[in-house]
Amino acid sequence: MQQNQTTAGDMFASFQQAIDDSWKKALSSFGELGQGGAFGGGTNWQLPQFSFSPDKLQALQRQYVEEAGELWRQGMSVQPGDKRFAGEAWNSNPISAFSAAAYLLNARTLMAMAEAVDADPKTQARLRFAVEQWMAASAPSNYLAFNPDAQKKALETKGESIARGIQNLVQDVQQGHVSMTDERAFEVGRNVATTEGAVVFENELFQLIEYKPLTAKVYERPLLLVPPCINKFYILDLQPENSLIRHAVAQGHRTFVVSWRNPDASLSHVTWDDYIEQAAIRAIHVVQEITGQDKRGGRINTLGFCVGGTILSTALAVLAARGEHPAASVTLLTTLLRFQDTGILDIFIDESFVKFREMQMGKGGLLPGGDLATTFSFLRPNDLVWNYVVGNYLKGETPPPFDLLYWNSDATNLPGPMYCWYLRNTYLEDRLADSNAVTVCGESVDLAAIEAPAYIYGSREDHIVPIGGAYASTQILSGPKRFVMGASGHIAGVINPPEKKKRSHWLREDGRFPAAHADWLKGATEHPGSWWTDWDTWLKTHAGKQIPAPRAYGKGTAYKAIEPAPGRYVKAKA
């Protein structure tokens, strides 16, 4: 028994060293990967000081010894539940089974040790992330020498799978990112972003698209959608059957969308103020003018998605400071206004990192879109990175066509000054939601001054905008509010057409918005299916009367059709 305790103690001394190594290697790997990375590169993270309580360490030691003994008794077979090792070949090959079983045991133990560390919450989160990255990268499934599924395929194809894998690797190196789908199967304007419309206005930052009505009458108040500028707008218009834009048009809304320009060197000087004044506010005014809502104080319905919601809300607050209240309603989809609950992204943000970015590109420069995409992919490394490394390179497979993953790979750049302002004033200092704490476009921003009913949506499993962060907007906006929680994540929860009859959403009808989302949820009721139908009902109450649908795009010679939707801005590659 004494000998077993000594062995376990020695083993855990090595595991403590492994955590140190994992931390260093994961940060090193992630830093190199994001040396231009949106959040990862350029940080000055130091190896943190931490310790374990003796009780926790002893409990982990006992658990490890018990699980290791159980593995030996089971003949080192792979336990079900991890899809990386689900193939029959893993259990039929003793060496592979041993490597997988030992890896899973060590991974569980390292992650448990990361959870057991006595340290401040941010250090704990960074440590968990570092260990997760290193364990994901070191899985035996990622290496041909240990992956029996890939070896079997190489034998069956007489080496052809390896040759295709090398071709796939060369192709991905040339295009600058790992292929998640067969990108040759899609083309913007041909089979994604196909809702019929026309560009009716453009400047150096955006094109404004107006969509052709699908109904004989439309509501008098138009609908303007502001998508995130860190992605292409057609996440809202992928295919006809899952297009939120087409759905809105079919409901009788005269619909407009901002299509952001993919910045190049000519826009490297653009600031957050420019995005608000020359893009969001300009789009609001143009829609008002085209639809006649600029007369007699007419208003328009507005929708912002993710960062687009932050931009839209800031623009409406700036206009409120100028005495303008153009919004009949505001819909915010997975949007952060209060940046206290930012989930996993918080681990990257500290003063030294933001200062580094400000020195690097605060006065001018571009954040490459590929770095943003890489950062977000490594938030789910097994699903969005190593899964494709194994399939594309070890097995020589071509991933199947998937419109969402095609969109996910279609990256956009960001102007450095705009990005740096956003980092400091939201993620780092969280000042945007504080009344009159920041000045934008020469105006003190007070989000509570927005005079419009708000429909606020959050996704339950969102790792980009956690549900608590989305819910926090209910405590900031002062007008009538409706909050809905949808199932699934940042994208799948939003893009959930009713016809699919998937997932659920939660509503609370008593009009109460307690400070914490958990307390709101206690009084909420689950409803099957998409939240879109609830939004339809709500939006129609703010859309005004119905009028004959327009017969032409734009308005007169001032705003005439420039080119067919989706326009040329969205087709520019990062």
Active site residues: 306
Please list, in sequence order, all residues whose beta carbon lies within 8 angstroms of the beta carbon of residue 300, skipping any fewer than 6 positions away: 221, 222, 223, 224, 284, 287, 288, 291, 293, 326, 327, 328
CA atoms within 13 A on the CB side of 141: 25
Euclidean distance between CA atoms 487 and 242, whole angstroms: 16
Query: Is the CB of residue 271 less than 8 Å from the CB of residue 417?
Result: yes
Identify the CA nearest to 330 among candidates 356, 307, 309: 309
Helix (H) or strand (E) holding 260: strand 255-260
CA gap 325, 311 in Å, rounded = 16
DSSP code, position 397: P
Q: Give CA–CA dist 62/40, Å, rounded.
A: 36
Residue pair 405/420 in contact by the 8 Å Cβ criterion: no
Q: To which residue do tokens 């009808």 refer?
A: 509
Please, which residues have CB within 8 angstroms of residue 274's CB and are 6 or more apart in sequence? 205, 418
DSSP 394: I
Pairwise CA distance, residues 470 & 455, whole Å: 11
CB 381 within 8 A of CB 84: no
HEC string for 476-491:
CCCCCEEEEEECCCCC
Contact criterion met (CB below 8 Å) for 531 and 506: no
Nearest to 379 by CA among 133, 182, 201, 195: 133
Nearest to 79 by CA among 66, 92, 97: 97
Structure tokens given for 554:
């734009």
- Report d(CA 444, CA 423) in Å as an integer: 19
